[in-house]
Amino acid sequence: MSNDLFKYAIALTGGIATGKSTVCNLLKLHGFLTIDADKIAHKLLDENSGKITSMFGEEYVENGKVLRKKLGKIIFSNEENKLKLEALLHPLIKEEIVKESRVFENQGKPYFIDIPLFFEKMHYPISKSLVVYTPKELQIQRLIQRDNIEEEEAKIKMSNQMDIEKKKELANFIIDNSSNLKNLQNEVERIIKEIL
């Protein structure tokens, strides 16, 4: 892979429920191009639903669509299942991201690639990163509300990711999302100025 590939790319990452997709939407409103690794993953899951059936069983697929919530339960709680799914999906996701990036690079201006596990799975030679940060307690609360789950399950989901404080240390840019939407909008505008 040629290293001029991600010249203008900025990896957008953070923790689960720290507000990455909201930040992505705000960046789009400001005219930035974004690539969403999760969206790509969802598309690829359905395209490979046959493989999911043979790997995990047919109860995880309905009408050619993968039942993501149901599959998530056996992925988040089982390291072996997780690695099996990642081995299938990650190379395909990367291929798609590379394809989309090539188009964006031609524009010659910064764009964002939303990669939730950017620091955990350093498979991308992207030199700049932006972390959407929320203190852990708030992250747990938001996750419980968002997914309508118990605190125990929220903590298990979070344990699959690197600690948010550590990500904050590794980031080139940090957006603080510990307050309200107005504050988040200001943070996004501040970061855009920094980037440009």
The CA–CA distances, whole Å, from 157 to 133, 144, 150 equal: 17, 11, 11
User: Which percentage of the chain shows pLDDT scores above 90?
Assistant: 81
- Mean pLDDT, rounded, of the chain: 92
Asked if residue 110 has pLDDT above 90, the reply is yes
The reported pLDDT for the residue numbered 123 is 79
Residue type, 89: L
**What integer pLDDT is reported at residue 4 of this predicted model?**
72
What confidence tier does 29 reach under pLDDT thresholds 50, 70, 90? very high
Report the C-alpha gap between 152 and 144 in whole angstroms: 9
Provide mean pLDDT across the span 135-148.
94
- Rg of the Cα trace of the chain? 17
Closest CA to 129 of 103, 168, 95: 168
Position 30 scores a pLDDT of 96
Residue 122 has pLDDT above 70, yes or no: no
Environment class of 123 (CB within 10 Å of its CB; exposed 0-12, middle 13-18, buried 19+): middle
Distance of CA 194 to the CA centre of its chain: 22
